[in-house]
Chain A
């Protein structure tokens, strides 16, 4: 069965600084990988996804993520954080076999300070 670990519960960064949110997954085959963002009081919005091919994927709002099979990781990055990026971020893994719900990590809350 799949599992996802987001080691950081809460991260604080200064506006304009770079950001990396960590995600490690466990799955025996090729995974589908996702990052979602949740602003306070809102639902989850898809940031980006990896299915196959280029291991560096670009998403919305200037985010990117890199799939590293050898490290079972799919870390989310942004070169310069904006105050509006303050939110909760969820990594999720899906099974290549399909018809199986995604498994979500517990989330990382991002705070942005001036």
Chain B
């Protein structure tokens, strides 16, 4: 099992450009999450999807959109990138059922630089 995979690993954008970050999991998990990590801020939740076909806003959703394409894939889109979106983005997934379904498994991250 690859677990949670993210592409690309690194990306440089100019202000105003758009891009989509891809995330896939092969653990048959129901829930998937997008976080951003900035120095001194810890992990902040952008959006999550509790199940296929549903998405919900997290703490910092502005400037982002998400698509839960199917059970495996959850993409994050920046429509018009801004320098404030320079960050490391992590995707995570978790299964169903309590309590073990609460455990989140993380991808390796995407480093995004917006100039």
Name A's B-contacting residues (CB within 8 A): 9, 32, 34, 36, 42-46, 49, 51-52, 90, 92, 94, 96, 98-99, 101-102, 104-107
Contacts and interface: CB of A to CB of B under 8 A. Distances in A.
B74 interface: no
B114 interface: no
Interface stretch (B14-22, B77-85, B105-113): B105-113
Contacts of B53: none
A106 B102 CA distance: 19
Chain B interface size, as a band, is 20 to 34
Nearest to B43: A104
Given A94-B102, A101-B33, A104-B42, A43 B108 contact: yes
Contacts, number: 50
Interface SS majority for chain A? loop
B2 interface: no
A11 to B, nearest CB: 15
A45 to B, nearest CB: 8
Given A43-B107, A44-B106, A51 B42 contact: no
Contact of A98 (B41, B42, B90, B101): B101
Nearest to A50: B99
A43 B106 CA distance: 6
A44 B4 CA distance: 11
Contacts of B43: 44, 90, 104
B103 A49 contact: yes
